[in-house]
Amino acid sequence: MAVTRADVEALRGELRKQLGSGDMVAWTALFSDDCEFRNSAMSEAVTGRAALRAFAESWPRVDNQEEWYAIDGNRLVVGWNERQESMQESAPRYRGFSTFVFDESGLIRSYEGMFDTAAVFAAIKA
């Protein structure tokens, strides 16, 4: 069964809800057991839901604001800006985008996060 645009829209809402809650168990339940995660700060991919959950639980809480999104078939691309919640309000926000590819069952098979690592480190030091 193919994932429809309406399915991806609903999954987008669930991703935002779970990420915003900080519940990484619920968030990673949206991923397939054999998912793969990559981001611009890592040289190796994180493979598997359990490994992604363990990795994500180490992330700092962030105030993440979605700027835009696009859907193409079973692929969702989201542009965002964020600031770690532990940072002062005056700290600059950093921007990036994430891509999610859903499998036939509606679980995320592939997730990539891209951002300017220099901007993140500058924001952390601010």
| Domain containing residue 109: CATH number | 3.10.450.50
Confidence band of 20 (pLDDT split at 50, 70, 90): confident
- Say what the pTM is: 0.87
State how far the Cα of 103 lies from the Cα of 113, in Å rounded to an integer. Answer: 18
Domain that holds residue 65: 5-125
Residue 108 vs residue 91, higher pLDDT: 108
What is the CA 83 to chain-centroid distance, rounded? 14
Give the model confidence (pLDDT) of 94-119 as tens digits: 888 999 999 999 999 999 999 877 76
Confidence band of 124 (pLDDT split at 50, 70, 90): low
By C-alpha distance, which of 70, 68, 33 is closest to 52? Answer: 33
Residue 14: how many CA atoms within 13 Å on its side-chain side? 16
Domains in the chain, number: 1
